[in-house]
Structure 1
Amino acid sequence: MAEVLLFHHVLGQTEGFHAFAGELRAAGHVVHTPDLFDGATFATIEEGARFAGEIGFDVLGERGARAAEGLPDGLVHAGISSGVMTAQRLAQTRPGARGAVLLEACLPAGQLGGWPAGVPVQVHGMSEDPFFAGEGDLDAARALVAEARDGELFVYPGDQHLFTDRSLPSSDPAAAALVTERVLAFLARVG
């Protein structure tokens, strides 16, 4: 059993986000899902990004760090899209990380001081996603997996962003199911 700190994407805590967390819980994992948007949800990436920008990405990062306070060492830090910023930062800077799951985004590891030795990582994204592939996250993921001693990168055919959120029109149910299967295998291994 793993203990996971899961951060939502820029649309907030959607039904699909909660469904994914529920699947991890159903497999026996403890999953914490802090709401960095205080209950706000959005219909479009643009609306969510505007809201996040108004709050400030530094403030959102601070909220994520506060969510980790009081939780034990040995967490798997996970995030979806914009939630990856907080999850990856915690995986790289908070002592005792057991692993990281980065869905649909990835930062250059060097931006946060390099990937910590002994922390496994799993990254998922679509090959033609304009955000993941088009904005450099895929390249960052390749470099991160090469740097990490225990890293996996899974690239799915398609051009959708937020394909893992089954409540959204961008969902790819077959790819999302495969992501869930692979994440559960990762959690079983590191837990």
Structure 2
Amino acid sequence: MAEIILLHSAQGLRPGVGAAAEALREGGHMVRTPDYYDGEVFDELEAGLRKRDEIGPEEIGRRFRRIGNEVRGPTVFAGFSLGAYGAQLLAVTHPMARGALLFHGAVPLDEVTEGAWPARVPVQVHHAERDPWVDESVVAGLGAAVGAGFECFAYPGDAHLFADPDLPGYSGESAALMWKRVRDFLSRI
């Protein structure tokens, strides 16, 4: 069974990330939730984005790679929003990657590699239908790059981070369906 590295959003290692990790552990998975934000947690997205900008994109990339350097066995890289960028970066570059779960975000493939998506790494993307932070053309481009191992699920609404029970846009129905699809994905790996 692959370990899961679950990366938080720009709002930091919030309780919702811990709840997601516990839900995955209940399914028998080993889950790590590394903190790449120096222990800071933000209730407001804008404050989290200021922290992201303070750290800077190059340092955030280095922090993601350091997390990857600790991986020794088969791993599914997963992340929420900004953490989805890290999960995508590690899934495409790490030799032990066995899957990628991208929650509420995806980036163009050329932002994480100059090469092709590895055929051995399936991807699942989950986002709200009208999430203002998700570019459908980017998701479609990633799907074309991944090929047969790609799945994308769009859920009703426009809330970013709709699966975090502590945030205003939480949708219990969508979150439950998302976690069911995630468990199905993990069972195939």
After TM superposition, the runs of 4+ consecutive aligned structure 1 residues lying more than 4 A away are: none
Q: What letter matches 2:43 in structure 1?
A: A
Aligned to 1:100: 100
Deviation at 1:116, TM superposition (A): 1.4
Structure with more contact order per residue of length (Cα contacts < 8 Å, sep ≥ 6): 1
Offset from partner CA, 1:153-175 (integer Å, 9 cap, x none): 00111110011111111111111
What SS does the aligned partner of 2:97 have?
A: coil
Measured in 1, the distance between the counterparts of 2:186 and 2:74 equals 12
Q: Is the 8 A contact 2:3 2:73 kept in 1?
A: no
Deviation at 1:146, TM superposition (A): 2.6
Deviation at 1:94, TM superposition (A): 1.3
Deviation at 1:57, TM superposition (A): 2.1
Measured in 1, the distance between the counterparts of 2:74 and 2:137 equals 28
Deviation at 1:107, TM superposition (A): 0.7
Deviation at 1:12, TM superposition (A): 0.7
Q: Does 1:145 align with 2:147?
A: no
Aligned to 2:187: 188
Q: Is the 8 A contact 1:61 1:85 kept in 2?
A: no
Measured in 2, the distance between the counterparts of 1:73 and 1:145 equals 26
Q: Is the 8 A contact 1:77 1:100 kept in 2?
A: yes
Offset from partner CA, 1:34-71 (integer Å, 9 cap, x none): 00112111111111000110011221221121122232
Offset from partner CA, 1:127-149 (integer Å, 9 cap, x none): 111111xxx2x221122223223
Measured in 2, the distance between the counterparts of 1:96 and 1:12 equals 25
| Matched positions, count | 186
Q: Is the 8 A contact 1:2 1:188 kept in 2?
A: no
Q: What letter matches 1:143 in structure 2?
A: G
Aligned to 1:35: 35
Q: What letter matches 2:118 in structure 1?
A: P
Measured in 1, the distance between the counterparts of 2:9 and 2:48 equals 9
Measured in 2, the distance between the counterparts of 1:21 and 1:70 equals 18
Q: Does 1:75 align with 2:56?
A: no
Q: What letter matches 1:102 in structure 2?
A: L
What SS does the aligned partner of 1:98 have?
A: strand
What SS does the aligned partner of 1:46 have?
A: helix
Measured in 2, the distance between the counterparts of 1:87 and 1:166 equals 21
Q: What letter matches 2:94 in structure 1?
A: R
Q: Does 1:178 align with 2:180?
A: no
Cα RMSD for the two superposed structures = 1.2
Measured in 1, the distance between the counterparts of 2:9 and 2:72 equals 24
Q: How does 1:1-191 map to 2 (within 5 A)?
A: 1-111=1-111, 112-113=113-114, 114-132=116-134, 136=135, 138-148=136-146, 149-190=148-189
Measured in 2, the distance between the counterparts of 1:68 and 1:115 equals 17
Give identity over the alignment, percent: 42
TM-score by length of 2: 0.94
Measured in 1, the distance between the counterparts of 2:186 and 2:166 equals 23
